[in-house]
Amino acid sequence: MKLIFAGTPEFAASALQALIDAGHEIALVLTQPDRPAGRGMKLKASPVKALALAHQLPVSQPLTLKTTDAQAEIAAVGAELMVVAAYGLILPKVVLDMPTRGCLNIHASLLPRWRGAAPIHRAIEAGDAETGVTIMQMDVGLDTGDMLLTVREPIRADDTTASLHDRLATLGAQAMVDALAQLDQLTATPQPEQGVTYAEKIGKAEAQLDWTLPATVLDRKIRAFNPFPGASTLADGAPLKIWQAHVCDGHGEPGQILAHSAEGVRIATGEGALLATQLQAAGGKRLAVREFLAGHPLPARLG
């Protein structure tokens, strides 16, 4: 098929590669403008742009799709369909209607649960047993369109947003290829009205750990906020990030360090305890506890 592809991060790049490998004609790639990144804050192309250029595909990076110039560029392609994956810009109705077969979205949840910006983070944070990918016919709402194809994926006890993201990116890419291969046979199913939840964008303030919460809740937060923004606490007033931890036995005042060894740092919570196994001091690197304790003394209590 003659496609327009719209996407920005690694999740979307997996889908673009799969569509290229499947033999589709990618007539135009839409992606977000280059952003400053790294210590030097130099402009960096998105993963989708880097992949598109490597395949010599035409790339456009409009700030918005609401201008007549951006819309004229899309209309000129004459695409049969637009594939959208984590693009980051709103598609106005005029754009949604341009491809002859509309626009399909790869959404990293089992809709209607976790519509919105951060479905992978929120599924882990909420303690969901499973999630998945939905291929959806886009409309003007926020992830409200009819569902064409769903693939389910269990959430493992040790999953972080990073690990689950990578599996869902692969599943989503294959699901879109499968959907396009059988597009005429798929039935568009309206989303049920029951079970709607919204995955709000992750804010850095959320990453501050509240030690009065149960250990099971804190464990999910640590995994949900890995790799961004990283769950954090205070150690003698200085920021301390906790990248890996798991629930363990123990009780004490919330935030109290019950014990520490090469195995981990045992921290009391509002219910049970956490064993933190990978830490990062401000300005430092992520370190296994054995290495961290060699150069960073810990107070009697965190938070």
H helices within 127-271, ranges in order? 161-181, 215-224
If you classify domain 2-199 with CATH, what class do you get? alpha beta
Q: Report, as an integer, the average pLDDT of 25-39.
A: 93
> What is the spatial distance between Cα 26 and Cα 38, in angstroms, rounded to a whole number?
30
CA 242 to chain centre: 19
Architecture of domain 204-295: Roll (3.10)
Q: Are 27 and 58 in contact (CB under 8 A)?
A: yes
246 pLDDT band, cuts 50/70/90, is: very high
State the residue for tokens 């047993």: 129
Number of Cβ atoms within 10 Å of the Cβ of 290: 12
The pLDDT of residue 15 is above 80? yes
What tokens does 37 get?
A: 């990144």
Q: Are 165 and 132 in contact (CB under 8 A)?
A: no
38 pLDDT band, cuts 50/70/90, is: confident
The per-residue pLDDT for 158 is 96
State the residue for tokens 């637009």: 82
State the Cα torsion 221-223-229-231 to the nearest 10°.
Answer: 60
> What is the spatial distance between Cα 106 and Cα 170, in angstroms, rounded to a whole number?
11
The per-residue pLDDT for 168 is 98
The per-residue pLDDT for 54 is 98
Domain ranges of the chain: 2-199, 204-295
Beta carbons within 8 Å of 53's beta carbon, 6+ residues apart: 45, 59
State the residue for tokens 């007539």: 27
